[in-house]
């Protein structure tokens, strides 16, 4: 490695040393030195620049990369203005417990010198910039010296990756970046700053949980973010198979394959009604795991059931995104499920070996759950058939046609809208973690395209096709993400689920109209994205992306998807099919 000549060279060396492959950014003079160092000191190799046309997209790229790869992502944002654009995407990463390093720049914070910094610098400088995002990052820091740069980078890395993971923000003064390195600060290897091991759960408590499950007639497991760490899903599978647990999967990570016969997602109400014990693993919002929103909040399930919550959510208490309802639990355990699940499985095996009654109960449950699982899947297929010929295209038809075309190829679902997320989990066979990294629990729109690009970058080198089931409203916030996808030749099939509406809010309007006895027909005003209808195929063409559509006739769907898929597979480029769909 070349010796760093400038402060910014040193920052690039740190990025390389800590294994960052990509730096997603939109340029800005506050980090012109860092940009120069990435290109000319690091030769744009590690990290490599992912040029984005909006900071929100840059952070979403880092988010998607981190979620799909299991490694932290990295984005760089221009001073005050870039960070303001990025802030909502940082919030999305915070809520999704995704580790990213957001690097920023400022200043020079001491304006009394006469070095040639840009004239606008004072306008874009704040003391301290980190305040803008402090409520939804795990840590922010602005080092004042080169040793401080080295140490804070290590600390940021460690904090972002220590459970519960999340974004951190580091801000570099322009002068510090542009100053020469006179003396090389000491650098310890990154292995010295690996994330701290999370608490594994008090052994006695873990044993008590197993004992209670063994006693229960109908225990249920709710999986939240268990699959956020590589291979934890395997522990979920062993655990539920051993104990015959019904699984309700919230779909926030790949927690268990959706074709597993113990999954009964879709029958939450019935399953929770029968349950006498509920174990919630890494569930972020327990209240809404146990309630449903109708005219009022409806408690799902049997109020007498024991509720046990396990995970690390108790460590995330901050002011933003946390004003949740409290749920009473019979036991609440702070534990890293990656460690606790195998421990509990070991103990459960010992206990089961000595308890014939418990073994019989497990067997009976497994048989009944298998039937329930089949019935749920069958029901969804029936519903898909019912909607088959609808025009514009029904979401289940779209999902099934696509499923069929993708069957011979490796694929990965990297983004969905709310409705397509449900339909994909009902109709597709999502059987391995590489097939799924979608979802944005933070709910800040404009996320999908950036996230898709990042997730696809994480799969660089594989022959996977990346699938983005892209809602229209979400893409309209961040259309220029198409430029980055095209520029990088991302093998991304973008299927617009274009309902020509901010439909989620149309639903709210309808709900309110009924409640307030106001005209329901007004529900479209201020929500429908027409006229004019947006021609996404034409827009994509402007970014040199192969495109087809708009497609309203379901009979024309398959051919269009087939041709677009061929472009993605054979030309290794993105393609977009604009499908006009039913609202839900
Ligand atoms: C940045 C941001 N602005 C506004 C909202 C409020 N909002 C939530 S869902 C939604 C509509 C989304 O429309 P689209 O992406 O087309 O999905 P659809 O509901 O139509 O399936 C809006 C505007 C939000 N979540 N985030
Ligand atoms: Mg829409």
Same domain, 443 and 557: yes
Pocket test for ligand 1, best of 417, 502, 524, 580 (most atoms within 8 A of CB): 502
Same domain, 353 and 475: no
Candidates 419, 385, 428, 577; CA nearest to 506 is: 419
Atom of ligand 1 nearest to the CA of 477: 1
3-state class (DSSP) for residue 160: helix
**Which residues are close to ligand 2, an ion, with C-beta < 5 A?**
471-473, 499, 501, 503
Q: Dihedral sign, CA of 492, 495, 501, 504?
A: negative
Q: What is the CATH number of the domain that holds 369?
A: 3.40.50.1220
Atom of ligand 1 nearest to the CA of 472: 16
Question: Residue 252's domain spans which residues?
Answer: 203-375
Q: Do the domain assignments include residue 192?
A: no
The CA 479 to ligand 2 mean position distance, Å, reads 14
The CA 167 to ligand 1 mean position distance, Å, reads 23
Q: What is the CATH number of the domain that holds 167?
A: 3.40.50.970
Q: Give per-residue burial for 356-373: e unless 16+ CB within 10 Å, then b.
A: eebeebbeebbeebeebb
pLDDT of residue 110: 85
Read off the tokens for 275: 């349950």
pLDDT of residue 145: 96
pLDDT of residue 280: 98
Which ligand minimizes its atom distance to the CA of 508? 1
Q: Give per-residue burial for 513-544: e unless 16+ CB within 10 Å, then b.
A: eeeeeeeeeebeeebebeeeebebbebbeebe
Atom of ligand 1 nearest to the CA of 448: 15
Which residue's CA is minimally distant from atom 20 of ligand 1? 503
Q: Do the domain assignments include residue 279?
A: yes
Which ligand minimizes its atom distance to the CA of 507? 1
Looking at 375, 400, 427, the residue that finishes a domain is 375
Which residue's CA is minimally distant from atom 11 of ligand 1? 502
Total of domains in the chain: 3
The CA 421 to ligand 2 mean position distance, Å, reads 14
Q: For residue 222, what are the β-bridge partners?
A: 248, 280
pLDDT of residue 119: 79
Q: Do the domain assignments include residue 507?
A: yes
The CA 429 to ligand 2 mean position distance, Å, reads 25
Pocket test for ligand 1, best of 95, 442, 445, 495 (most atoms within 8 A of CB): 445
The CA 471 to ligand 1 mean position distance, Å, reads 9
Kindly list the protein residues whose Cβ atom lies closer than 6 A to any atom of ligand 1: 88, 417-419, 443-446, 471-474, 499, 501-505
Q: Do the domain assignments include residue 141?
A: yes
Same domain, 346 and 429: no
The CA 313 to ligand 2 mean position distance, Å, reads 32
Q: For residue 334, what are the β-bridge partners?
A: 311
User: For residues 446 and 56, is the Cβ–Cβ distance under 8 A?
Assistant: yes
Pocket test for ligand 1, best of 473, 534, 582 (most atoms within 8 A of CB): 473
Atom of ligand 1 nearest to the CA of 507: 19
Q: CA dist 462 to 294, 343, 447, 465, Å? A: 44, 34, 24, 9
Looking at 375, 402, 424, the residue that finishes a domain is 375
Looking at 352, 375, 398, the residue that finishes a domain is 375
pLDDT in tens, the chain (584 residues): 789 999 999 999 999 999 999 999 999 999 999 999 999 999 999 999 999 999 999 999 999 999 999 999 999 999 999 999 999 999 999 999 999 999 999 989 888 888 888 878 888 888 889 999 999 999 999 999 999 999 999 999 999 999 999 999 999 999 999 999 999 999 899 999 999 988 999 999 999 999 999 999 999 999 999 999 888 999 999 999 999 999 999 999 999 999 999 999 999 999 999 999 999 999 999 999 999 988 889 999 888 999 999 999 989 887 788 888 999 999 999 999 999 999 999 999 999 999 999 999 999 999 999 999 999 999 999 999 999 999 999 999 999 999 999 999 999 999 999 999 999 999 999 999 999 999 999 999 999 999 999 999 999 999 999 999 999 999 999 999 999 999 999 999 999 999 999 999 999 999 999 999 999 999 999 999 999 999 999 999 999 999 999 999 999 999 999 999 999 999 999 999 999 999 99
Q: Do the domain assignments include residue 50?
A: yes
The CA 31 to ligand 1 mean position distance, Å, reads 33
pLDDT of residue 323: 83
Same domain, 30 and 119: yes
- The β-bridge relationship of strands 297-299 and 291-293 is antiparallel
Q: For residue 307, what are the β-bridge partners?
A: 278
Same domain, 304 and 259: yes
Q: Do the domain assignments include residue 381?
A: no
For residue 392, whether the previous peptide bond is cis, meaning omega lies within 30 degrees of 0, is yes
Q: Kind and range of the H or E element at 24?
A: strand 22-25
Return phi, psi of residue 75, to 5°: -135, 150
User: For residues 149 and 14, is the Cβ–Cβ distance under 8 A?
Assistant: yes
The CA 505 to ligand 1 mean position distance, Å, reads 7
The CA 473 to ligand 2 mean position distance, Å, reads 5
Which ligand minimizes its atom distance to the CA of 476? 1
Atom of ligand 1 nearest to the CA of 444: 26
Return phi, psi of residue 392, to 5°: -60, 175
Atom of ligand 1 nearest to the CA of 446: 1
The CA 473 to ligand 1 mean position distance, Å, reads 6
The CA 504 to ligand 1 mean position distance, Å, reads 6
Return all residues near 242 (Cβ < 8 A) that are at least 6 apart.
345, 348, 349, 352, 362
Q: Kind and range of the H or E element at 278?
A: strand 277-281
Same domain, 170 and 250: no
Candidates 132, 27, 147, 136; CA nearest to 84 is: 132
Same domain, 39 and 92: yes
Q: Report H helices in 387-430.
A: 395-406, 418-427
pLDDT of residue 293: 86
Which ligand minimizes its atom distance to the CA of 580? 2
Task: Specify the pTM.
Answer: 0.97
User: For residues 487 and 449, is the Cβ–Cβ distance under 8 A?
Assistant: no
Which residue's CA is minimally distant from atom 18 of ligand 1? 503
Same domain, 437 and 356: no
Which residue's CA is minimally distant from atom 13 of ligand 1? 502
Same domain, 566 and 484: yes
**Where are the extended beta strands (E) located within 291-450?**
291-293, 297-299, 306-311, 331-334, 411-415
Pocket test for ligand 1, best of 504, 507, 530 (most atoms within 8 A of CB): 504
Q: Do the domain assignments include residue 28?
A: yes
CA 351/CA 286 separation, integer angstroms: 29
Which residue's CA is minimally distant from atom 9 of ligand 1? 504
Same domain, 371 and 415: no
Candidates 477, 575, 485; CA nearest to 534 is: 477
Find how far residue 430's CA is from the centre of its chain.
16
Which ligand minimizes its atom distance to the CA of 505? 1
Which residue's CA is minimally distant from atom 23 of ligand 1? 502
Same domain, 429 and 534: yes
Orientation of helix 418-427 relative to helix 356-386, angle to 10°: 120
CA 426/CA 18 separation, integer angstroms: 39
Atom of ligand 1 nearest to the CA of 88: 1
Q: Do the domain assignments include residue 187?
A: no
User: For residues 470 and 497, is the Cβ–Cβ distance under 8 A?
Assistant: yes
Atom of ligand 1 nearest to the CA of 504: 19
The CA 174 to ligand 2 mean position distance, Å, reads 42
Same domain, 361 and 483: no
The CA 326 to ligand 1 mean position distance, Å, reads 27
Read off the tokens for 309: 């919550």
The CA 471 to ligand 2 mean position distance, Å, reads 5
Which residue's CA is minimally distant from atom 3 of ligand 1? 445
């Amino acid at each position: 490695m070349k010796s760093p000549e400038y402060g910014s060279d040193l920052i690039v060396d740190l990025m390389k040393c800590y294994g960052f492959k990509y730096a997603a950014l939109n340029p800005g003079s506050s980090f012109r030195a860092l940009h120069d160092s990435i290109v000319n000191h690091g030769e744009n190799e590690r990290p490599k620049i992912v040029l984005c046309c909006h900071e929100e997209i840059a952070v979403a790229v880092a988010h998607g990369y981190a979620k799909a790869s299991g490694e932290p992502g990295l984005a760089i944002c221009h001073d005050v203005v870039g960070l303001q654009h990025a802030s909502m995407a940082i919030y999305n990463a915070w809520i999704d417990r995704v580790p990213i390093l957001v690097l920023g720049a400022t200043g020079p914070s001491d304006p009394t010198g006469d070095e040639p910094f840009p004239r606008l610098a004072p306008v874009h400088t704040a003391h301290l910039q980190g305040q803008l995002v402090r409520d939804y990052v795990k840590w922010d820091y602005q080092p004042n010296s080169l040793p401080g740069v080295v140490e804070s980078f290590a600390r940021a890395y460690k904090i972002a990756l220590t459970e519960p993971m999340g974004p951190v923000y580091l801000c570099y003064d322009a002068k510090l970046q542009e100053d020469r390195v006179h003396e090389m600060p000491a650098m310890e290897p990154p292995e010295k700053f690996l994330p701290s091991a999370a608490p594994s759960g008090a052994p006695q408590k873990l044993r008590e949980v197993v004992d209670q499950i063994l006693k229960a007639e109908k225990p249920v497991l709710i999986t939240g973010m268990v699959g956020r760490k590589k291979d934890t899903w395997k522990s979920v599978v062993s655990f539920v198979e051993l104990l015959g647990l019904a699984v309700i999967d919230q779909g926030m990570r790949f927690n268990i394959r959706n074709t597993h016969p113990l999954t009964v997602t879709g029958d939450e109400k019935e399953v929770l009604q029968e349950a006498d014990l509920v174990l919630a693993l890494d569930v972020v919002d327990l209240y809404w795991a146990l309630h449903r929103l109708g005219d009022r909040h409806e408690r799902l399930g049997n109020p007498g059931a024991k509720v046990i919550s396990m995970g690390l959510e108790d460590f995330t208490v901050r002011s933003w995104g946390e004003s949740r309802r409290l749920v009473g639990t019979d036991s609440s355990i702070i534990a890293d499920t990656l460690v606790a699940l195998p421990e509990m499985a070991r103990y459960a095996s010992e206990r089961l070996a000595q308890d014939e009654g418990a073994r019989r109960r497990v067997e009976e449950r497994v048989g009944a759950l298998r039937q329930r699982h089949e019935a749920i899947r069958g029901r969804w297929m029936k519903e898909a058939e019912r909607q088959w010929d609808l025009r514009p295209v029904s979401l289940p038809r779209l999902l099934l046609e696509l499923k069929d075309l993708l069957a011979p190829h490796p694929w990965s679902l990297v983004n969905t809208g709310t409705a397509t997320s449900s339909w994909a989990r009902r109709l597709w066979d999502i059987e391995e973690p590489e097939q799924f990294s979608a979802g944005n629990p933070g709910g800040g729109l404009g996320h999908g395209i950036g996230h898709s690009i990042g997730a696809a970058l994480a799969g660089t080198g594989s022959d996977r096709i990346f699938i983005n089931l892209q809602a229209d409203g979400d893409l309209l916030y961040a259309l220029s993400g198409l430029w980055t996808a095209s520029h990088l030749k991302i093998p991304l099939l973008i299927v617009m689920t274009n309902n020509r509406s901010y439909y989620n809010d149309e639903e709210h309007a309808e709900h309110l109209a009924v409640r307030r006895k106001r005209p329901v027909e007004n529900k479209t005003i201020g929500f429908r994205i027409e006229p004019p209808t947006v021609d996404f195929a034409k827009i994509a063409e402007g970014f040199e992306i192969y495109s087809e559509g708009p497609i309203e006739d379901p009979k024309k769907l398959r051919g269009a998807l087939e041709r677009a898929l061929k472009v993605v597979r054979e030309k290794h480029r993105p393609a977009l099919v604009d499908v006009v769909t039913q609202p839900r």
